[in-house]
Structure 1
Amino acid sequence: MQKNYQMLKPDSLIFDMDGTLWDASDTYTAAWNEGLKAMHIDRVINRGELDYMMGWERRRVLEHTFPDYPVEKQEQIYDAIVAAQDRLLPETGGLLYEGVAEGLARLATKYKLFMLSNCPKNAITQFLTFSGLTPYITGQITHGENGMPKHHNIKLLQSKYGLQNPVYVGDTETDQIQSDLAGVPFIFIDYGFGQTEKYALKFSSFTQLTDYFMAL
């Protein structure tokens, strides 16, 4: 537990998307393979490969997946994948984790809610539209908008909205590290794509998280 965290009442909750609010890996996998086909690359990506990289920043993903291609070619591949995702995600979306829709509606009555992800530029908006959860989210920011790491974007949200005591809710060690760099408590959801041993609080369901914060 982070020192004195229990004495703090957050004024806002910032949520990661993939592995925290929903699972859209099947759609992402289809988008990747459509993009690779459009680029005439003879390769098939499976869901397990994408799940392993979930939450990584764009450069790390491209360097890991296409190490033998020059940066310019990597970026062209990425653009093709994002174009496919922009078409597919609004159609097939993903599966909301149990309790997310009801939980965000409840939490929004007490806190300002935000979303922050290392996804492409349009993905959070597509998530919100597909899920019908737009009314509950005050603001959002993606890695695809500015290419910056999560700790930087957490601070941008703090500055823009005047947040005094935000927490970041995520599912990976990367989320934990970035929260620490931003100086905000990390709330770990353990049903997602990653693991970490460092967190302020841990929950095994979104309903459990909702009940906790509504009781503060």
Structure 2
Amino acid sequence: MDSIIFDLDGTLWDPSKTVARAWSEALSNLEYAKGEITEDDLKRTMGLQIQQIAEILFDYLEKDKQMEVINECCRIERRYLRQDGGELFRDLEKVLDHLSKTYKLYIVSNCQDGYIESFYHYHKLEKHFLDYENPGRTGLSKGENIKLIIERNQLKSSIYVGDTQGDKDAADFAGIPFVYAAYGFGELSEYDYKIDQVSDLLEIF
């Protein structure tokens, strides 16, 4: 194995508190939006693409309005995350430092453009990763973006680490093994490897 590709939310960090505040502010800025966004709202949509999240959280609006709301949420979210970050899972920095000495590390997440950059900016972890991708930049599915990372970086033997069924499906699509981060937001029964905390990666690799 020469590389490890990571999901972001629920795998490397939990940004729910920061994002819930940002999205609630976004809703207050739009007269046709209502209510507020909670951490539970976000956690039940983790791993989905932006359009799918909009359909679930703003189902009382027409599709064009749903996208207006979600785009405003994402705009404010980037500012909040750059200022306040999210909650890194325990021992993450130590584990990344150790793994990056042996393996090439990457991120593929179902997020908008600028989201991974906000993660890098606040937590100063960009030094551990060689490349990243998301549908906000490519318009592709997570599985297609994993394949893009593999092809672009000429990787020979990769593995994907994530926490949801969507992550497992994406790894299957890309034809690579899957590590289930059981401490994240999803519940899975099928996987190639399972970790209960980030540091368990050091036992696998």
TM range (shorter): over 0.9
Q: Which deviations, in whole Å up to 9, do the C-alpha atoms of 1:5-46 show, x marking residues without a partner?
A: xxxxx2100000111111110011011111111112221121
Whole-angstrom CA distance in 1 between matches of 2:203 and 2:118: 27
Counterpart position of 1:186: 178
Runs of 4+ in 1 over 6 A off after TM superposition: none
Report the equivalent of 2:118: 126
Deviations 1:85-126 (A, max 9, x none): 111001111111111101101101001000010112111111
**Structure 2: gaps (5+ residues):** none
* Distance of 2:21 and 2:134 partners within structure 1: 21
Name the structure 2 match of 1:31. 22
C-alpha separation in 2, matches of 1:85 and 1:193: 20
CA RMSD after TM alignment: 1.1
TM-aligned CA deviation for residue 149 of structure 1: 1.1
Cα displacement string for residues 162-209 of structure 1 (whole angstroms, at most 9, x for unaligned residues): 011111100111111111111111111100011111111001111111
Structure 1 partner of 2:6: 15
Cα distance in 1 for partners of 2:29, 2:138 equals 26
2:156 aligned to which of 164, 183, 197 = 164
Higher deviation after alignment, 162-171 or 204-213:
204-213
- Cα distance in structure 2, aligned partners of 1:59 and 1:12: 30
Q: How far apart, in 1, do the equivalents of 2:29 and 2:158 lie?
A: 42
Which whole-Å CA distance do the structure 2 matches of 1:212 and 1:179 have between them? Answer: 17
Partners of 2:200 and 2:57 lie apart in 1 by: 36
Tell me the CA shift for residue 66 of structure 1. 1.9
User: What's 1:85 paired with?
Assistant: 77
Aligned residue pair count: 204
Gaps of 5+ in 1: 1-9
The aligned runs of 1:1-216 (5 Å cut-off) are: 10-40=1-31, 41-213=33-205
CA apart distance, 1:67: 2.3
TM-score normalised over the length of structure 2: 0.96
**TM-score normalised according to structure 1 size:** 0.91
Q: Distance in 1 between matches of 2:201 and 2:160?
A: 12
SS in 2 for 1:53: coil
Secondary structure in structure 1 of the residue aligned to 2:106: strand
SS of 1:115's equivalent in the other structure is strand
Amino acid at match of 1:68: Y
Task: Determine the structure 2 residue equivalent to 1:3.
Answer: none
